[in-house]
Structure 1
Amino acid sequence: MIAVTVPALAVIGGIAARPAAAADTTPYRAQVFTQGYDTSKVATLTFDLDWRTGSAAQNAVSKANLETVLSVFAANGITGGFGVTGRFAEQNPAEARNIAAQGHKIFNHSYSHPDFMTLTRSQRWSQLDKAEAAFRAAGIGSAGWFRAPYRSGYMNAALNRDLALRGYYISADWTFDTTGYKAADWATVSGRIDRYLKPGAIIVMHVTTPSTDPGNLQKIIDKIKGMGYGFVSPFQAVTRGPIRAAYLAGGGPSWLGPATTGPMRATTTGTEVQWFQKGRLYYSAATGAHEVHGSILTKYRAMGTVGSFLRYPTADERGGAGSGRYSTFQGGSIYWSSATGAHEVHGSIRTKWLALGGEAGYLGYPRSDEKAVSVGRASQFQGGNVYWNSRDRAHEVHGAILTRYLALGGTGSRLGPPTSDGYKVSAGLRSDFRHGSLIWNSATNTVTVVYR
């Protein structure tokens, strides 16, 4: 849920109205999550993790605390979130890698934990970039999730614009802090849970000594369970509705990776799109929620996604003949193969192509998008072309007949557009055109032109 006021802390700054945007475009600002979308009794547990190189004893305690947190999470089947600084990952790459390896979500918590409201835009970007470089070196990544050090400016419009301009579209904030980082006793922590826990709450705790949170974690979990709550991961907390259902049904982060944006209106009210690390999920009432990813998504994006004539996907991506892939949309399909790349097919040409067996037929996969020709439209396939115009409708031309037809000038030639598919004759194969025919002789492998 966006910009939920937290009773324990004041909101700094405000959110100005964002400019109007075209459908399914890059977010203008990072979306702030002070709680998840759940309205049922569930909570999300997160920890912040940063320490400078201290004494060997202090570092040993902090590392033991992290091991305790990961162990308790594993024992309770909880997937949490970790706001990790770049310097922590740089100094402790194995520990950082272990957090991610156990399935927890990493947030970019800056490189050295400065107050972002004291930094210029370039300094903010430097902190983000340096942290992400340390993450990459450790074998982890944030996927564009940020958590503000000190929570400073987390609702500031300019800061969230700066985040978006650097590719950080999720500001992973929180509903309340246990204050364990102040060495709070159990009574204090328990009291804050009583006061601030609510459906969808995101709870922040801290690893580093003198935090009491690692030692209290099992009691915190037991207390929350005793209040009738369960737990959801950060991956789930930032999704909702049919897109969440589709995401979880497909395998969640193991399928599409983490979300990289919050849910956004796709075109009109009631439609939605959410971007993920490995693809996007689109929803409309007419089509339901379906994913698009990989090379097919690249083509779909180039065409304008839901703003194009293809509109919304009507199914998830599926396997085609010969290890190819395809996705269907309201206005057509996109097919991909390693030999041809990704191309769209739609309208009457698609209908004709599918009637001839589609990618499994002799025409094979498309090797061009549909394009205008001198008379009507055409799509090229591995095994031939399909032509369409409003008078003669859609017909295929292939083989030696197609080679001769193109040499003569195609639809712009004296023959004009095709009026039939290729059909067998005693000599071999024949295709008829508006002003004549082409006849292929199988015995001589020659093509004869007949004008009328």
Structure 2
Amino acid sequence: MTRVALRTAVTVLTIPALTLIAAPSAVAADATPYRAQVFTQGYDTSKVATLTFDLDWRTGTVDQIAASRANLDTVLRVFAANGITGGFGMTGRFAEQNPAEARNIAAQGHKIINHSWSHPDFMTLTQAQRWSQLDRTEAAFRAAGVSSAGWFRAPYRSGYTNAALNRDLALRGFYINADWTFDTTGYQGADWATVSGRIDRFLKPGAIVVMHVSIPSSDPGNLQQIIDKIKGQGYAFVSPFQAVTRGPIRTAYLTAGGPSSLGAATTGPMQATTAGTEVQWFQKGRLYYSAATGAHAVRGAILTKYRALGTAGSFLRYPTAGERPGAGGGWYSTFQGGSIYWSSATGAHEVHGAIRTRWLALGGEAGYLGYPRSDEKAVSVGRAVQFQRGNVYWNSTDGAHEVRGGILTRYLALGGTGSRLGPPTSDEYTVTVGRRSDFRHGSLIWNSTTGAITVVYR
């Protein structure tokens, strides 16, 4: 058997042979929100506004349904013509009865908001009834192929600041209560003078404007005038996606591609660990910020591992860069205290400290050892990480060293760091007869001609 063949053959044997002692995982620093955060306006202090519509038409005459559908077409056409991304507070019964329309709204990039199933006053409902309204709506959204991402808007604006209501929302996974700054009152069929006067009175930086689609609302017919008047007052428009973000996290979100990359925010900004730090959850990841590191996204399987370790409250602390491609189709993210690497063959695992330093010096995931197959764990002497084609061991006396191939197989069979040989004191290196690894109390020597491995004690 050639040297290459032997090293390939023993790889499978090295994996189950390393017995590791699991360390307790840390508690996540960025905990699940206790209550939904109410957004009566966006975070902007500059002159921008966000436009939203509420949407709930029920049974009616053929002409009434046709008129409401025409109103929706008008709203979408005017939004598109002006390059505006809006929000739609949609009831579940609308989505169930009009799935194609719901999909079209989402496909045009607008934000869908859970506006209950049947538009009841939530302050008259029990917790169970509130949850039923939310759940039934989400089921209709899923069937239509859209998502609220945990955004809710209270029918009639009833109880929108009520602590118990916002706690009930959070307990059901709704962490954003998408309120509004002012209503045009177009749902009452208000004339343009009335709507215009309300804009003059209530428009302010970060304002969220609510309008209505269904007849007899005058909002669809007035929408271009509304947009022109707001622009005439020196305002621009931001999407609901952007309105609930701020500061460095907003910058990182938009730079990454916004909703096309990370999806919608599923929480408002939250303190991550200490004052001055921040985290915000999104559909496809989380963005973390500290003054020392800036704002960076963690996502996918790497985020799952990061969460299991305790996120920013763990030894890894904050990400120092976004996720980057690794060798052979893998990915990795770097943190203040180490890295997390992922490949389809190994899953996601962390590497840190002296073991990470040694592994990187040996080529990291692109080197012979490949990707990590375990997190760093305690062994009988020191610490170890298991890689695809070998292990790296560390202790405070001998430092960090790799052991691999047939030498690793024999070493593990003898008992690893707990054996008479003790922990490694060298990496594997070339000798006259083949390859050798040294240990605290001896050596293992592989003969390239015979394939035999000799144990030498001292």
TMscore range, shorter length: over 0.9
Residue of structure 1 in register with 2:189 after alignment: 183
Question: 2: CA distance between counterparts of 1:90 and 1:419?
Answer: 67
Match status 1:103 vs 2:109:
yes
Question: 1: CA distance between counterparts of 2:362 and 2:215?
Answer: 69
For residue 401 of structure 1, what is the amino acid of its counterpart?
A: I
Question: 1: CA distance between counterparts of 2:362 and 2:28?
Answer: 38
Q: Which has the higher contact order (CA 8 A, sep 6+)?
A: 2
Question: 1: CA distance between counterparts of 2:441 and 2:102?
Answer: 72
Question: 2: CA distance between counterparts of 1:23 and 1:309?
Answer: 11
User: Which among 343, 350, 365 is matched to residue 344 of structure 1?
Assistant: 350
Gaps of 5+ in 2: 1-26
Gaps of 5+ in 1: 1-20
TM-score computed with the length of structure 2 as normaliser = 0.94
Question: 1: CA distance between counterparts of 2:238 and 2:271?
Answer: 24
Residue of structure 2 in register with 1:299 after alignment: 305
Residue of structure 2 in register with 1:317 after alignment: 323
Residue of structure 2 in register with 1:8 after alignment: none
Residue of structure 1 in register with 2:264 after alignment: 258
Question: 1: CA distance between counterparts of 2:437 and 2:213?
Answer: 75
Secondary structure in structure 2 of the residue aligned to 1:375: coil
Match status 1:52 vs 2:58:
yes
Please say if residues 28 and 307 of structure 2, whose CA atoms lie closer than 8 Å, have aligned partners that are also in contact.
no
Q: What percent identity do the matched residue pairs reach?
A: 85
User: Which among 62, 82, 101 is matched to residue 88 of structure 2?
Assistant: 82
Secondary structure in structure 2 of the residue aligned to 1:208: coil
Matches within 5 A, 1:84-233: 84-233=90-239
For residue 89 of structure 1, what is the amino acid of its counterpart?
A: A
Match status 1:383 vs 2:400:
no
Question: 2: CA distance between counterparts of 1:139 and 1:345?
Answer: 39
Question: 2: CA distance between counterparts of 1:437 and 1:138?
Answer: 66
Question: 2: CA distance between counterparts of 1:188 and 1:401?
Answer: 84
Residue of structure 2 in register with 1:66 after alignment: 72
User: Which among 236, 241, 256 is matched to residue 242 of structure 2?
Assistant: 236
Question: 2: CA distance between counterparts of 1:23 and 1:216?
Answer: 47
For residue 337 of structure 2, what is the amino acid of its counterpart?
A: G
For residue 88 of structure 1, what is the amino acid of its counterpart?
A: F
Question: 2: CA distance between counterparts of 1:33 and 1:127?
Answer: 21
Residue of structure 1 in register with 2:380 after alignment: 374
Question: 1: CA distance between counterparts of 2:347 and 2:89?
Answer: 39
RMSD: 0.7
TM-score computed with the length of structure 1 as normaliser = 0.95
Residue of structure 2 in register with 1:12 after alignment: none
Q: Deviations over 1:250-293 (max 9, x none)?
A: 00000000000000000011100000000000000000000000
Residue of structure 1 in register with 2:457 after alignment: 451
Question: 1: CA distance between counterparts of 2:277 and 2:385?
Answer: 31
Match status 1:396 vs 2:395:
no
Question: 1: CA distance between counterparts of 2:78 and 2:270?
Answer: 35
List 4+ stretches of structure 1 deviating above 4 A: none
Please say if residues 28 and 310 of structure 2, whose CA atoms lie closer than 8 Å, have aligned partners that are also in contact.
no
For residue 256 of structure 2, what is the amino acid of its counterpart?
A: G
Please say if residues 364 and 370 of structure 2, whose CA atoms lie closer than 8 Å, have aligned partners that are also in contact.
yes
For residue 133 of structure 1, what is the amino acid of its counterpart?
A: A
For residue 306 of structure 2, what is the amino acid of its counterpart?
A: Y
Question: 1: CA distance between counterparts of 2:388 and 2:47?
Answer: 55
Secondary structure in structure 2 of the residue aligned to 1:415: coil
Residue of structure 1 in register with 2:19 after alignment: none
Secondary structure in structure 1 of the residue aligned to 2:334: strand
For residue 391 of structure 2, what is the amino acid of its counterpart?
A: N
Report deviation, 1:383.
1.1
Please say if residues 28 and 312 of structure 2, whose CA atoms lie closer than 8 Å, have aligned partners that are also in contact.
no
Matches within 5 A, 1:410-425: 410-425=416-431
Secondary structure in structure 1 of the residue aligned to 2:374: coil
Question: 2: CA distance between counterparts of 1:390 and 1:220?
Answer: 69
Report deviation, 1:60.
0.6
Match status 1:270 vs 2:280:
no
Report deviation, 1:170.
0.2
Report deviation, 1:23.
2.0
Match status 1:431 vs 2:441:
no
Report deviation, 1:319.
0.4
Residue of structure 2 in register with 1:17 after alignment: none
Report deviation, 1:22.
6.3
For residue 295 of structure 1, what is the amino acid of its counterpart?
A: A
How many residues end up aligned between the 2 structures? 432
